[in-house]
């Protein structure tokens, strides 16, 4: 069953994230990296379960799963985002990649403000506000600012092998769910939920975007299938620390997902010959899915341990190479190299591409009466990963089909909120010789570097992480596959090893998998070439089926101490040249209302600042100032609902000012309004020239923001900007009132 859970807001909503910002926000909502709010799948699933139990729906454990069960059962619910979320988020990401100058407005903070507002509340004691009880809560507004309609969130829903009775129970549970989130008994979180048919099948199944498949000619030997996936939900990928995520999707996870799809489709057992050959026998390799560089679209791997960053100057250096000599008086003994923990890197044409995976902290609490929060670190959504699968040529078409049809969900808590991934483009299939190309002459010093964790066993079958033993095993296996003695060990060459523990969890049996020691990715082993090197094996060691032991050969003789790098996350991006093709590229229609709202708000902030710094003074009695303020308020109220409200307001205000009996007061008011608004039409509102004059005045005060606002609204820009004048004038009058009070004191 593939459905969409449609959630329509019937009041403001605070789907809390657990975060707070001291003195600003005490209870914050959940939102993604672009500032778009969402309702977590876990929260939706929990609320639906409570509603189902409340109305007496049976088999709640079957419908929603049970904590500690052997396998993943029940409904799978993704995070709920506003309609057109994917289009909006994709457009913002594209503008960010192109460094469009409009991104100065489309910041996460501004986009978040478009959807939300902040409420303040205090505790009451005997009818009086209690001391130190003021709290601020950010809420998602009930209505869309652009259309005025109720905001609708949509969450993908999947239930394997659901029959009509199951679907009916889920529909009842959805309709019975009336409240979500914080302060449900104080008017927040009132929603209407319903299950509707899924219009976009590929978005739910994670199927590939339409593209022509690329396949090289040939059916014999091995095929290498390269593919890309994007995580549409955060990822919780277990590591040695249970609450910290890995930065990659392990090859074993990919193998498990495709194996499950194969068994579900064919109905065969795991004893099937084709299944055994594809998923259980050595020779097939499912590599890790690793991060892809944003611009070059090149796979990145855990940074080699010999790449470090200098503590003070922040330069990237290769400590396997001797540092250049520096005069004693110029040495900075505190500028020491430090490991680049968590950075992913890859060399391309002598330049190192570097990038850090984006992570976030997410808070949860348990249902069984435990009110304490616990947190998890997850990989943020919207990141792209690349992997490869090496299979027999006869199984390549089947493997590609499994990739396109399998439900790609990885990691923990993948039945709600986490784990969802989507195939990007079409897998690329090419012939594989089982060797990687690399040309180095005899006598060259090289570093064999692990790009994924490696497992190595000695002659007695015991796992080892001892440097000399691992180095000898690499040389022996390398030379055996090359057919000649290529690698020669040399104790004088640089080498570095970091050990770890490979662990896992078998969800079928609810047990941990056997643990064994591994050599961590980034470890490097120094060798001297005893013969010319033309190619080398891409994987070495045990458990290659799950992508362990991927290696690369680095030429140490041609390396420099200071590394030429392009670091997407460590370097300062403020000095980058921005690209602006604003006249050539229009904003997508889904993003335009958000952009217009933000630009208009920024223009008003500029005008408000101008009101506070305005040196024009109003020389009338304070009572006359109060009367002028009242005239403005009455003119605004009488013109509401009129399509030409701003014009009518100005005309009514001009008429009211003209009716003031005191000549000196009347003329001073008209002079002041003309100077503030930049028009001489305050005496005769019948002339419509004041529209252009006032708009021009406010554009001048807005500066670049005013120009951006006019361009954003096009032909309507002048009228939209003109409509701000009542609020601007109100700010000016308030400031005049403040100045008069200060003068009296």
Are 78 and 90 in contact, with CB atoms under 8 Å apart?
Answer: no
- Please determine, for residue 569, whether its predicted confidence score (pLDDT) is greater than 50: no
Each residue of 66-75: pLDDT tens digit? Answer: 765 555 567 8
Each residue of 485-503: pLDDT tens digit? Answer: 888 998 889 999 999 988 7
With residue 164 as reference, give the H or E element that holds it: helix 164-176
Beta strands in 541-662 (DSSP E): 551-555, 565-567
- Please determine, for residue 139, whether its predicted confidence score (pLDDT) is greater than 90: yes
Name the phi and psi angles at 277, rounded to 5. Answer: -65, -35
Question: Average pLDDT for residues 82-109, to the nearest whole number?
Answer: 88
- Please determine, for residue 115, whether its predicted confidence score (pLDDT) is greater than 90: yes
Query: What CA–CA distance (Å, rounded) separates 359 from 96?
Result: 18
pLDDT at position 284 is 92
| pTM summary value | 0.80
75 is written with which tokens? 């409904």
pLDDT at position 362 is 85
Burial group, residue 674, by CB count within 10 angstroms (0-12, 13-18, 19+): middle
Name the phi and psi angles at 417, rounded to 5. Answer: 80, -30
With residue 667 as reference, give the H or E element that holds it: helix 663-677
- Please determine, for residue 316, whether its predicted confidence score (pLDDT) is greater than 50: yes
Query: What CA–CA distance (Å, rounded) separates 46 from 52?
Result: 10
308 is written with which tokens? 């470090």
138 is written with which tokens? 């950010």
Q: Sorting pLDDT into bands at 50, 70 and 90, what band is 193?
A: very high
Round to the nearest angstrom and report the end-to-end CA distance of the chain: 73
Strands 307-310 and 285-286: unpaired
Query: What CA–CA distance (Å, rounded) separates 182 from 15?
Result: 6
Best CA proximity match to 567, nearest among 320, 387, 342: 342
- The torsion defined by the Cα of 478, 480, 484 and 486, in degrees rounded to 10, comes to 20
Question: Average pLDDT for residues 221-245, to the nearest whole number?
Answer: 85
Are 501 and 507 in contact, with CB atoms under 8 Å apart?
Answer: no
Instruction: Pick the range with the lowest mean pLDDT from 188-192, 228-232, 245-249, 716-720.
Output: 716-720
Q: Sorting pLDDT into bands at 50, 70 and 90, what band is 571?
A: very low
Question: Average pLDDT for residues 184-197, to the nearest whole number?
Answer: 90
- String of DSSP letters for 388-436: EEEEEGGGHHHHHHHHHHS--B-SSSTTBTS-BEEEEEEEEEEEE-S-E
103 is written with which tokens? 């991104």
568 is written with which tokens? 């997407």
Query: What CA–CA distance (Å, rounded) separates 377 from 360?
Result: 6
Each residue of 595-637: pLDDT tens digit? Answer: 999 999 998 888 888 777 777 788 888 899 899 999 989 988 8
Strand order in 316-318's β-sheet? 316-318, 307-310, 337-339
- Please determine, for residue 226, whether its predicted confidence score (pLDDT) is greater than 90: yes
Higher pLDDT, 216 or 434: 434
Query: What CA–CA distance (Å, rounded) separates 592 from 586?
Result: 9
Are 234 and 417 in contact, with CB atoms under 8 Å apart?
Answer: yes
Ramachandran region, residue 134 (left: φ > 0; alpha: ψ -120 to 50; beta: rest) = beta
Residues with Cβ within 8 Å of 36's Cβ and at least 6 positions away in sequence, in order, are 81, 82, 85, 88, 89, 111, 112, 115
Query: 8 - beta bridge partners?
Result: 152, 192
Burial group, residue 700, by CB count within 10 angstroms (0-12, 13-18, 19+): exposed
Mean pLDDT of the chain: 84
Ramachandran region, residue 351 (left: φ > 0; alpha: ψ -120 to 50; beta: rest) = beta
Q: Sorting pLDDT into bands at 50, 70 and 90, what band is 239?
A: low
pLDDT at position 682 is 59
Name the phi and psi angles at 327, rounded to 5. Answer: -60, 145
Each residue of 722-734: pLDDT tens digit? Answer: 888 888 888 888 8
Q: Would you call 596 helix, strand, or coil by DSSP?
A: helix
pLDDT at position 44 is 92
Are 339 and 305 in contact, with CB atoms under 8 Å apart?
Answer: yes
Residues with Cβ within 8 Å of 700's Cβ and at least 6 positions away in sequence, in order, are 678, 706
What crossing angle do the helices spanning 592-612 and 704-713 adopt, rounded to 10°?
Answer: 150
Higher pLDDT, 211 or 261: 261
Burial group, residue 8, by CB count within 10 angstroms (0-12, 13-18, 19+): middle
- Please determine, for residue 329, whether its predicted confidence score (pLDDT) is greater than 70: no
Instruction: Pick the range with the lowest mean pLDDT from 289-293, 585-589, 705-709.
Output: 585-589
Best CA proximity match to 428, nearest among 210, 223, 205, 218: 223
With residue 71 as reference, give the H or E element that holds it: none
- Please determine, for residue 737, whether its predicted confidence score (pLDDT) is greater than 90: no
- Please determine, for residue 662, whether its predicted confidence score (pLDDT) is greater than 60: yes
- Please determine, for residue 664, whether its predicted confidence score (pLDDT) is greater than 80: yes
Q: Sorting pLDDT into bands at 50, 70 and 90, what band is 527?
A: very high
Best CA proximity match to 252, nearest among 515, 518, 505: 505
Name the phi and psi angles at 704, rounded to 5. Answer: -65, -35
- Please determine, for residue 363, whether its predicted confidence score (pLDDT) is greater than 50: yes
Are 634 and 620 in contact, with CB atoms under 8 Å apart?
Answer: no
pLDDT at position 220 is 58
pLDDT at position 330 is 53
Query: What CA–CA distance (Å, rounded) separates 440 from 532?
Result: 6
- Please determine, for residue 339, whether its predicted confidence score (pLDDT) is greater than 60: yes
Integer CA distances (angstroms), 684 to 151, 204, 237, 670, 722, in order: 44, 62, 71, 10, 18
Name the phi and psi angles at 404, rounded to 5. Answer: -75, -30
- The torsion defined by the Cα of 139, 377, 405 and 49, in degrees rounded to 10, comes to -50
307 is written with which tokens? 């790449």
293 is written with which tokens? 């560089």
What crossing angle do the helices spanning 396-405 and 251-266 adopt, rounded to 10°?
Answer: 90
* High-pLDDT (> 90) share of the chain, %: 33
Residues with Cβ within 8 Å of 125's Cβ and at least 6 positions away in sequence, in order, are none
Q: Would you call 723 helix, strand, or coil by DSSP?
A: coil
Each residue of 254-271: pLDDT tens digit? Answer: 998 899 888 888 878 777
Query: What CA–CA distance (Å, rounded) separates 455 from 549?
Result: 7
Query: What CA–CA distance (Å, rounded) separates 655 from 7?
Result: 49
Best CA proximity match to 16, nearest among 188, 189, 181: 181
Q: What's 256-314 look like in SS3?
A: HHHHHHHHHHHCCCCCCHHHHHHHCCECEEECCEEEECCCCCCECEECCCCEEEECCCC
pLDDT at position 218 is 43
Query: What CA–CA distance (Å, rounded) separates 699 from 703?
Result: 6
95 is written with which tokens? 């503008």
Query: What CA–CA distance (Å, rounded) separates 446 from 239?
Result: 30
- Please determine, for residue 233, whether its predicted confidence score (pLDDT) is greater than 80: yes
Are 122 and 26 in contact, with CB atoms under 8 Å apart?
Answer: no
Are 301 and 451 in contact, with CB atoms under 8 Å apart?
Answer: yes
Query: What CA–CA distance (Å, rounded) separates 410 from 244?
Result: 15
């Amino acid at each position: 069953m593939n459905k969409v859970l449609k959630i329509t807001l019937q009041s403001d909503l605070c789907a809390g994230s657990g975060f707070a910002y001291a003195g600003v926000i005490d209870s914050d909502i959940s939102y993604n990296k672009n500032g778009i709010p969402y309702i977590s799948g876990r929260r939706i699933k929990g609320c639906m379960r409570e509603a189902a139990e409340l109305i007496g729906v049976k088999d709640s454990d079957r419908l929603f799963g049970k904590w500690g069960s052997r396998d993943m059962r029940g409904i799978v619910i993704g995070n709920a985002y506003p309609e057109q979320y994917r289009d909006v988020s994709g457009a913002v990401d594209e503008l960010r990649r192109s460094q469009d100058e409009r991104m100065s407005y489309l910041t996460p903070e501004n986009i978040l403000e478009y959807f939300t507002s902040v409420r303040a509340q205090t505790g009451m004691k005997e009818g009086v506000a209690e001391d130190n009880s003021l709290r601020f809560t950010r809420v998602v507004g009930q209505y869309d600012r652009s259309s005025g309609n109720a905001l609708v969130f949509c969450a993908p829903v999947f239930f394997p092998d659901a029959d009509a009775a199951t679907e009916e129970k889920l529909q009842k549970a959805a309709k019975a769910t009336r409240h979500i989130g914080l302060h449900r008994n104080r008017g927040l979180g009132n929603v209407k939920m319903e299950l509707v048919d899924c219009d976009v099948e590929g978005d739910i199944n994670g199927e590939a975007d339409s593209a022509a498949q690329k396949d090289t000619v040939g059916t014999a030997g091995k095929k290498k299938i390269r593919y890309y996936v994007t995580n549409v939900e955060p990822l919780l990928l277990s590591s040695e620390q249970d609450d910290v995520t890995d930065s990659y999707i392990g090859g074993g996870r990919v193998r498990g997902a495709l194996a499950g799809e194969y068994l579900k489709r064919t109905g065969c057992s795991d004893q099937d010959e084709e299944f055994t050959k594809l998923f259980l026998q050595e020779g097939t390799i499912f590599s890790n899915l690793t991060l892809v560089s944003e611009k070059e679209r090149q796979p990145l791997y855990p940074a080699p341990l010999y790449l470090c960053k200098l503590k003070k100057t922040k330069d990237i250096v290769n400590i396997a190479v001797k540092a250049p000599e520096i005069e004693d008086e110029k040495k900075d003994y505190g500028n020491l190299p430090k490991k680049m923990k968590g950075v992913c890197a890859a060399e391309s044409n002598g330049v190192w591409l570097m990038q850090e995976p984006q992570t976030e902290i997410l808070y949860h609490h348990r249902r069984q009466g435990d009110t304490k929060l616990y947190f998890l670190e997850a990989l943020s959504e919207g990141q792209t990963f690349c992997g490869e699968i090496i299979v027999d040529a006869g199984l390549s078409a089947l493997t590609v089909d499994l990739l396109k049809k399998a439900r790609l969900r990885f990691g923990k808590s993948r039945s709600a909120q986490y784990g969802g991934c989507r195939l990007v483009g079409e897998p690329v299939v090419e012939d594989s010789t089982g060797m990687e190309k690399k040309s180095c002459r005899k006598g060259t010093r090289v570093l064999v570097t692990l790009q994924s964790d490696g497992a190595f066993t000695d002659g007695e079958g015991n796992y080892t992480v001892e440097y000399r033993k691992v180095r000898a095993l690499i040389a022996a296996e390398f030379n055996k596959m090359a057919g000649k003695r290529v690698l020669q060990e040399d104790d004088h060459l640089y080498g570095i090893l970091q050990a770890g523990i490979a662990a896992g969890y078998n969800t079928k049996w609810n047990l941990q998998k056997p643990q064994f020691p591994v050599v961590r990715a980034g470890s490097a082993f120094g060798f001297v070439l005893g013969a010319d090197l033309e190619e080398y094996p891409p994987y070495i060691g045990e458990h290659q089926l799950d992508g362990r032991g991927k290696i690369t050969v680095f030429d140490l003789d041609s390396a420099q101490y200071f590394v030429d790098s392009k670091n997407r996350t460590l370097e300062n991006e403020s000095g980058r040249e921005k690209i602006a093709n604003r006249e050539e590229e229009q904003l997508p229609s889904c993003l335009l209302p958000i952009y217009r709202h933000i630009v208009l708000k920024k223009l008003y902030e500029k005008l408000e600042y101008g009101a506070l710094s305005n040196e024009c003074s109003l020389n009338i009695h304070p009572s006359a100032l109060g009367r002028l303020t009242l005239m403005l308020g009455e003119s605004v109220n009488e013109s509401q609902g009129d399509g030409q409200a701003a014009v009518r307001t100005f005309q009514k205000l001009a008429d009211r000012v003209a009716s003031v009996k005191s000549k000196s007061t009347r003329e001073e008011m008209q002079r002041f309004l003309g100077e503030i608004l930049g028009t001489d039409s305050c005496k005769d509102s019948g002339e419509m020239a004041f529209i252009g004059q006032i708009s021009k005045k406010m554009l001048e005060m807005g500066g670049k923001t005013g120009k951006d606002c006019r361009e954003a609204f096009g032909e309507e820009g002048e009228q939209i900007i003109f409509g701000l004048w009542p609020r601007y004038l109100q700010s000016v009058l308030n400031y005049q009132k403040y100045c008069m009070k200060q003068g009296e004191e």
